[in-house]
Amino acid sequence: MDWGTELWDQYDIIEKHTQSGLELVEKYVKFVKERTEIEQNYAKQLRNLSKKYNLKRSSKDEPECRLSSYQSFLDIVNEMNDYAGQRELIAENLMMNICIDLTKYLQELKQERKTYLMEAKKAQQSLESTYKQLDNSKKRFEREWREAERAAQYAEKTDQDINATKADVEKAKQQAHMRAHVAEECKNDYAAQLQKYNKEQNQFYFNDMPLIFNKLQDLDERRVQKLAQGYILFSDTEKHVMPIIGKCLEGITKAGTNVNEKNDSMVVIEQNKSGFERPGDLEFEDYSQGINRASSDSSLGTPKGPMDLLGKNRSKNFWLFSKKSKPTVTEDFAHLPPEQRRKRLQQKLEEICKELQKEVDQSEALGKMKDVYEKNPQMGDPASLASQINQTSQNIERLRAELNKYETWLAEAGGRGDTLRYKTHTFNNNGAHDMHSPDGAHSDESTPDASQAIYAEFDDDFEDEEVTAPIGKCTAMYNFPGASEGTISMQEGEVLAVVEEDKGDGWTRVRRNNGDEGYIPTSYVTINLNK
């Protein structure tokens, strides 16, 4: 069943129905937009909530951050932030797949409907115009036929009138004949117009309008189908992210199961134990001995008086329950309990060692560069590096002194000094390789300083370490003698394997096929790194 057959005479109903259908699409689009705004606001509030309670904003050195309960709370906050991202994705997909798509489709339907209605109106106007022509032709035929009858009656009356002349009779007959001819022509024209109108009316009701109505029916059915798809998308949009949302919720559950109360208790103990021994029993203080003692004040084990008896214990506080005043922070961390002091000193030593290693590497690079400048003046002025070399040497000496100082404190606190080692081989200010002094100054092997005794174990970087895999190749553009320690010679056009990139000091570490390794000036080669 179709509209063209069953609703051939319901143009107004069809026009109203199709308009109502388009309005329903607009209403649904508006509904989805408001849902989208709700999702966006919800996601924004979730993100703000996650940001507010994110423990990353606090210092990472806070003791609580190592507790599983705190870490799990941080995981929950992060999962909620990811959850908010999924709500944003829902809002975005609703807007793109429903609102924007349906709005575009709606505009196309409106234009198509407008075209069909204009075709229907045009066909209606054409039929009405033909009907007007038919009506005019009919009225003219009626009028001319009456005139012809009157003319015929007048001619007959004139012919019977004995007083009428022959000429009058002839004239009246001619007039009647002429009117009859005109009436006959109008009759034929009316018949032709009637035939034309009937044909157009048949075309209008059995072909043109049914075709237009069927097109409107197809348009409406496509509109309903598209709207139904939009209804399904409304649900599927959220279903598609449900697995990820489920993972977020699983992550929250996992965060709860990861809480380990026993481990948290151990962390609290490890972070806060003082290392002190628990106080022993107080001795009985016999004040009667002060009365019966001999006159001599030099008796062994005999206190001089009651106040002296109290002296060794009166300063003891019931520190377990007393309010502790804030200790004065000292450089050697002596204000901390023994266990905590050892940890802080150990941490400080590791920081100094890392900084010292950085300065040693810098000194080594400057020494190589100076040596190359002295042998190849065209590459640069060695004197330009003097200030940097001097500053690096001062930094190394300063760090050594700090290292020695903190090592001494650590030894006093009962800790060990073999925390980290740093490379001590470098170049002195003259470009010579020195195995003992990172700053390039000569150091007598028989009298090393205190920090050297603990940290200055030679780190055989180039002898004991495993062979590094090449990261690319390079081709020499110029000859390089490689006369200084740590460098390697090369000839123009020679291809070498790159094992370490330029770290900003102008040198690249390369290796030959025979295994020889060393540094070359980066500007002397063209480098192709592996991707």
CATH of the domain at 511: 2.30.30.40
CA distance 17 to 102: 19
Same domain, yes or no: 509 and 389: no
79 domain-assigned: yes
pLDDT digits (tens, 9 = 90+) for 3-30: 988 988 889 999 999 999 999 999 999 9
Q: Which helix (DSSP H) or strand (DSSP E) does residue 508 occupy?
A: strand 507-511
pLDDT of 377 strictly over 90: no
- At residue 311, the pLDDT reads 44
- At residue 326, the pLDDT reads 57
Last residue of a domain, one of 394, 413, 432: 413
455 domain-assigned: no
Same domain, yes or no: 223 and 138: yes
pLDDT of 450 strictly over 90: no
For residues 103-131, average pLDDT:
94
Q: CA torsion, points 63, 68, 71, 73, in degrees to nearest 10?
A: -120
CA distance 84 to 79: 9
314 domain-assigned: no
For residues 407-434, average pLDDT:
54
CB contact at 8 A, 80 and 49: yes
CA distance 227 to 217: 15
pTM of this structure: 0.54
pLDDT of 488 strictly over 80: yes
Same domain, yes or no: 84 and 213: yes
Same domain, yes or no: 225 and 354: no
Same domain, yes or no: 393 and 482: no
466 domain-assigned: no
pLDDT higher at 253 or 292: 253
Find the domain containing 159 and state its range: 3-258
Q: Which residues contact 134 (CB under 8 A, 6 or more apart)?
A: 190, 193, 194, 196, 197
For residues 490-500, average pLDDT:
91
265 domain-assigned: no
- At residue 416, the pLDDT reads 54
Same domain, yes or no: 35 and 174: yes
Give the chain's domain count.
3
Per the document, the length of the chain is 531
- At residue 325, the pLDDT reads 53
Rounded to 5 degrees, φ, ψ at 529 are: -90, 150
Q: How confident is the model at residue 478 (pLDDT cuts 50, 70, 90)?
A: confident
Same domain, yes or no: 253 and 376: no
- At residue 197, the pLDDT reads 93
pLDDT digits (tens, 9 = 90+) for 284-326: 887 776 555 544 444 444 444 444 444 444 444 454 554 555 5
CB contact at 8 A, 352 and 402: yes
Same domain, yes or no: 387 and 250: no
69 domain-assigned: yes
Last residue of a domain, one of 258, 277, 301: 258
pLDDT higher at 423 or 52: 52
151 domain-assigned: yes
Same domain, yes or no: 24 and 129: yes
Q: How many CA atoms lie within 13 A of 454 on its CB side?
A: 19
pLDDT of 265 strictly over 50: yes
Q: Number of H helices and number of E strands within the chain?
A: 12, 7
Q: Among 216, 252, 273, which residue's Cα sits nearest to residue 63?
A: 273
DSSP SS3 for 423? coil
Same domain, yes or no: 243 and 342: no
CA distance 175 to 137: 22
Residue 23 belongs to domain with CATH number? 1.20.1270.60
Last residue of a domain, one of 189, 223, 258: 258
- At residue 268, the pLDDT reads 84
Q: How confident is the model at residue 217 (pLDDT cuts 50, 70, 90)?
A: very high
Same domain, yes or no: 233 and 349: no
Q: Among 167, 159, 119, 106, which residue's Cα sits nearest to residue 11?
A: 119
CB contact at 8 A, 276 and 414: no
Same domain, yes or no: 130 and 47: yes
For residues 166-187, average pLDDT:
90
Task: Name the percent of the chain lying above pLDDT 70.
Answer: 80
124 domain-assigned: yes
Mean pLDDT for the chain?
81
